[in-house]
Amino acid sequence: MTPRKLLPVGILLRISDAREEDTAGVERQEKDCRLLAAALRPSGYDGVEIVAVYTENDTSAFKRRKVRLPDGSTGLRVMRPEFRRLIDDLTSRAILGVVAYDLDRVARDPRDLEDLIDAVEMTQALTRSVTGSLDLSTDAGVTMARVMVAVANKSSRDTARRVKRKREEMAEQGVYGGGGRRRYGRAVDRKTIVPEEAEIIRECARRVLGDDERAPESLRAIALDLTRRGVPTATGAVDQETGKLVGWQPRSIHSCLTSGHITGLHTFRGEVVGEADDLAAILDRETWERVQVALAKRNHGRGQQALRKWLSGLLLCSACGHRLYGWPNPNKRLRPGGRYACPPPNTPKIGGCGKTAVDAEHAHDAIEAEILAYLRRPDNVAALATTVSADAANRAQREARDDEQQLKAAAEMWARREITQAEYLVMRREISDRLSQWQAIIRQSMPGPVRRLVSADSIEDAWAEMQPPERREVAQVIYPYGILVVPPRPTHRFKFDPDRLVRLDRPWQSK
């Protein structure tokens, strides 16, 4: 008996939204696709053989994410690993046909469709769907597929726009609009407090703030400690290779502590839109605001290099006004301490002019001497203590809370159509501007390291005990507008000149 000649094909199954462990949708599609495959008789073959099933359960064919492309650039792409596997199998001829329920299940992004068309044209692969909408073997079929995918893409965009606008309206009213992952400290309903996680949040806040006895800790140190103790993250994910819980990251702790939900605030796109009536606070409002100030003043550079170079970002280039950052010296053996330099123009995201640099150790010594001399003068200490008094900061916090309530009230008035959208936008702009001013005053309040310095018996001893992040906080207060690094004088071209570091008394602008 002559063996049957069968065409190897793959079945593509996709459902956009499926609840956890819900596979009913793709199972129905697979049943119908198998019935279609059993009836197919491609030219030159006795039938088809299903050799692969590509299942995309709970996978969008429309939503795009920012990814790094093979050439090193970034772009927006739909993330569909199984679809990409199907394309690879087609181009390698592991399969010579594709069966799906409908073209809509195959692609809703024109770029994905074009990739499939290219693969089919290179291999002359068979393409069929249960509904008859997928046939890329003819020019008419290709053209119709392009039109249908373009229409489907437009429909998805319309839906996304309506959903986005609805969530904006709900956010302005202080109502949770759904979506997103479970927030650390809250249960799946996003409202109920999880006691164990709430205590971890309070612990992280205490460690970020520190006190008179204990210096503030870095987010990295806190993350390493939580990982060592085996504290689960919000997802509770487990590393498949080691079998251990996935560790904490500094950015995860930062995101958790800066989220308004832990103090009962409703935020939208990073902006506080009012108090959430249905959210109990994990942290009291005053503590949360102190944490925001502490985190805002920190150096967000990464690694030991950033920790050592506590002037990074405070020094400004006199040629272009760009911030100077810590870099290693070209000759580490002769000058191991590194340098501060204006980034070259081709540096991604932070490029400057690359014309200004200064030795890091010499800059530290010069600024340290200037800070200590500044703090030895009683008039400077008195002025520093009254820059933003505790009373002024407390008043700013009260006014900020009142303005947030006003924002919420204005949104509710607009939702009830008591005011027009134009009136609401004017109110929101004025209140938001005022709120920004109060928040600026709160940020200028004296940080803990400065308080410890001005109240210490020996300023020199207190300074020597400070860690680089604390020294940076002190420098930020004493040099609110930064330090300008000017070119060296001809007579000091080969040795350090402290006069190159110029204190700014107003925002600097390049000529």
Packing angle between helix 285-296 and helix 195-209, nearest 10 degrees? 50
Amino acid at 408: K
In angstroms, the CA 511 to CA 504 distance is 15
451 vs 184, which has greater pLDDT?
Answer: 184
437 vs 464, which has greater pLDDT?
Answer: 464
The one-character DSSP state at 245 is B
Q: What pLDDT is attached to residue 301?
A: 45
Amino acid at 168: E
* Tens-place pLDDT, residues 340-390: 888 888 776 667 888 888 988 899 999 999 999 988 888 887 776 655 555
Amino acid at 136: L
Backbone angles phi, psi at 52, to 5 degrees: -155, 145
131: pLDDT strictly greater than 90: yes
Question: DSSP characters for 168-222?
Answer: HHHHHTT-----SPPPTTB-TTSSSB-HHHHHHHHHHHHHHH--SSS----HHHH
Mean pLDDT on 301-306: 44
* Tens-place pLDDT, residues 267-300: 665 556 566 666 788 998 888 888 887 887 664 4
* Tens-place pLDDT, residues 307-335: 567 888 889 998 888 888 888 776 655 45
In angstroms, the CA 408 to CA 411 distance is 5
Residue linked to tokens 């390291």: 449
472 CB contacts (<8 Å, ≥6 apart)?
Answer: 297, 298, 299, 310, 311, 314
Q: What pLDDT is attached to residue 300?
A: 47
* Tens-place pLDDT, residues 383-423: 766 555 555 666 777 788 888 888 888 888 888 888 888 88
106: pLDDT strictly greater than 90: yes
* Tens-place pLDDT, residues 448-504: 677 777 777 788 888 888 878 778 888 888 888 889 999 887 776 667 888 899 998
All structural domains of the chain, each given as residue ranges with its CATH number in brackets, are: 6-157 (3.40.50.1390), 195-296 (3.90.1750.20), 303-387+446-503 (no CATH)
**Taking the model in full, what pTM does it have?**
0.47
172 CB contacts (<8 Å, ≥6 apart)?
Answer: 268, 273, 411, 414, 415
438 three-state secondary structure: helix
In angstroms, the CA 149 to CA 109 distance is 7
In angstroms, the CA 126 to CA 40 distance is 10
In angstroms, the CA 489 to CA 343 distance is 22
Q: What pLDDT is attached to residue 53?
A: 94
The one-character DSSP state at 489 is P
Q: How many CB atoms lie within 10 A of CB 434?
A: 15
Q: What pLDDT is attached to residue 198?
A: 92
How high does pLDDT run on average in the chain? 82
In angstroms, the CA 321 to CA 508 distance is 7
Chain-centre distance for alpha carbon 221: 20
* Closest to 360 measured CA to CA, from 422, 421, 309: 309
